[in-house]
Chains A and B, each alone.
Chain A
Amino acid sequence: MKKFLLKTLLYVLTGGLAFFVVTFTVYFFNLDMKLTSSLEPLLLKWYDRIPRNQHL
């Protein structure tokens, strides 16, 4: 039981650490913004294609 708990704790800690390392890397190197900024031009093209009833 104790072993199981320790193992679970280890998994949680490892998982947590891995999560932290990955997300912190994304955070620190601004990878989230780098990704979204590359999506923006594609999105703008998409919006241009939407038919619109432009008028006053």
Chain B
Amino acid sequence: MKDLKHLIYFEDLLQEANNELVQQAQKEGMKCVGYMCENVPEPLLNLPGIFSSRLRAPRTGSIDVGTYYLTSFLCEYSRAILERALEGGYNYLDACITPDGCTMLNRCVENMDLLHAMGKDKLGFFFDYMEIPMKADYNGLDLYIVQCQNHILKPLAENYGIDTSDAAIRKAVDQHNKICELIRAIGDFRKLDEPTITGYEYNVICLATYVAPKHLIQGMLEETLEELKVRKPDDKPWFRARVEVVGSEVDDTDFIKIVEDSGAFVCADRFCYGSLPGRDPIYLNDEEDALTQICRAYMYRGECPRYMDTPTMDGRREYVAEIAKEYKADGIIYQQMKFCDPWAYERMLGSHILREDYGYPVLAVDRPYAIGTSGQMRTRVQAFIESIDIKKIQKEG
């Protein structure tokens, strides 16, 4: 297929946490708020005058210092982020907000805080920690609202004079929705029998929306969408099977690349930093305040395994199956970053349930944070694709 005009630019944006657009927005006088977990409502970090930067540690090499502080048993994401913070890689941030979502991310930020890894000479810089609900219900919603008020809106207003009114929140949601709608529209091309976008390209574009100021990236997304409308697929199908990737945090585009280089097409992305459901628009009504509606949307769409109530647990697997059906996946790859406790259990349960109750071929793998060109992963995915092929042949026969 013909190259997408902005793909290289999007790829470049992913090379540094403090990327070109982040710098540009800060030059415009905007403050940047770092966060690391999908449970922090993104629109609240994109109120007028601020923008969010979801922390990644691109081009991670040695994580020795991170490992010294967190040991080798914490996930490499938390170690890489801490390492990068200690190297000064997030000095551009004006605040860092984290939920006590999983223990590892929480500890990672606590280490940054205690080691004064950032914000030393920045007036107004703050770290804040949130409690987020573990059940999706009315009580969880009340908690979510209070936590967002006390640990996001209040410190932003107090430290930087940010307007946290309902009108300001609604404005941020509008901007958020524009990006979500664009991303979802771009992602819809993956549903085609002959898709006009690869999983890798989509992953790069989607990821860029998490790490760049929304208003600066919107135009390029619009252009990309127009391009895709007329983009011609290759004559010959370039993949042997369509797979849905499910699981824990993936911000390493190499992972999707390896999967696709092994003969698969990643048709759906149900993982943290993915678009399902991370890029679901939040449609607000006028009857209720915006904050409540945002919290409700985040809570009820939450696919994080930390949600412990039975309906949400069952819903997680149903959602994976629904997506697989919608995006015509032939198989599902349950991936888990090594040492991630929540996804260790969810991967075990999900992979068995999707196979046994929903009838999908499932590959369950664990992986490092930065996968590079892992031969092991390639072999496993190739074997999985072959097994899907064999099943198809058997079915046809």
- A: residues with CB less than 8 A from B are 56
B153 to chain A, nearest CB (A): 42
A7 to chain B, nearest CB (A): 71
Residues of A contacting B192 in the complex (Cβ-Cβ under 8 angstroms): none
Q: Is B349 an interface residue (CB 8 A)?
A: yes
For the complex, give the distance between the alpha carbons of A56 and B349 in Å: 7
Q: Which residues from 351 to 397 on chain B have a C-beta closer than 8 Å to any C-beta of chain A?
A: 352-353
- B: residues with CB less than 8 A from A are 348-349, 352-353
Chain A to chain B: the 3 pairs with minimum beta-carbon distance, closest first = A56-B352, A56-B349, A56-B348
For the complex, give the distance between the alpha carbons of A20 and B349 in Å: 56
Main secondary structure of the interface of A (DSSP, over half): loop
B5 to chain A, nearest CB (A): 47
Q: Would you mind naming 4 contact pairs between A and B with Cβ atoms under 8 Å apart?
A: A56-B348, A56-B349, A56-B352, A56-B353
B285 to chain A, nearest CB (A): 41
For the complex, give the distance between the alpha carbons of A22 and B20 in Å: 86
Residues of B contacting A56 in the complex (Cβ-Cβ under 8 angstroms): 348-349, 352-353
Residues of A contacting B353 in the complex (Cβ-Cβ under 8 angstroms): 56
Residues of A contacting B349 in the complex (Cβ-Cβ under 8 angstroms): 56
For the complex, give the distance between the alpha carbons of A47 and B250 in Å: 43
For the complex, give the distance between the alpha carbons of A56 and B347 in Å: 12
> Which residue of the partner chain B has the closest CB to A56?
B352
For the complex, give the distance between the alpha carbons of A19 and B348 in Å: 56
For the complex, give the distance between the alpha carbons of A56 and B348 in Å: 9
For the complex, give the distance between the alpha carbons of A56 and B353 in Å: 9
Residues of A contacting B348 in the complex (Cβ-Cβ under 8 angstroms): 56
For the complex, give the distance between the alpha carbons of A56 and B317 in Å: 15
B94 to chain A, nearest CB (A): 46
Residues of A contacting B352 in the complex (Cβ-Cβ under 8 angstroms): 56
For the complex, give the distance between the alpha carbons of A56 and B352 in Å: 8
For the complex, give the distance between the alpha carbons of A56 and B356 in Å: 11
B346 to chain A, nearest CB (A): 12
For the complex, give the distance between the alpha carbons of A52 and B348 in Å: 20
B56 to chain A, nearest CB (A): 34
A52 to chain B, nearest CB (A): 17
A27 to chain B, nearest CB (A): 44
For the complex, give the distance between the alpha carbons of A56 and B350 in Å: 11
> Which residue of the partner chain A has the closest CB to B351?
A56
A15 to chain B, nearest CB (A): 59
A39 to chain B, nearest CB (A): 35
For the complex, give the distance between the alpha carbons of A56 and B346 in Å: 12
> Which residue of the partner chain A has the closest CB to B352?
A56
B350 to chain A, nearest CB (A): 10
B334 to chain A, nearest CB (A): 14
For the complex, give the distance between the alpha carbons of A30 and B353 in Å: 50
> Which residue of the partner chain A has the closest CB to B353?
A56
